[in-house]
Amino acid sequence: MLLGLVAANLGVSLLPASAMTLYTQGIVYRPLADVNVDIAVETVVVWRREEISPLVQEFLVAIREVLEQQKKTMTGVPEGRDDLMG
CA distance 16 to 27: 15
Decide which of 41 and 85 is more confident: 41
Quick check: 53 and 40 in contact, CB under 8 A? no
Whole-model pTM?
A: 0.44
Q: What is the mean pLDDT of residues 13-17?
A: 83
- Band of the pLDDT at 61, cuts 50, 70, 90? very high
Cβ–Cβ < 8 Å for 17, 31: yes
Q: CB–CB of 47/56 below 8 Å?
A: yes
C-alpha 42/C-alpha 37 separation (Å) is 16
Q: Using a pLDDT cut of 90, give the percent of the chain over it.
A: 5
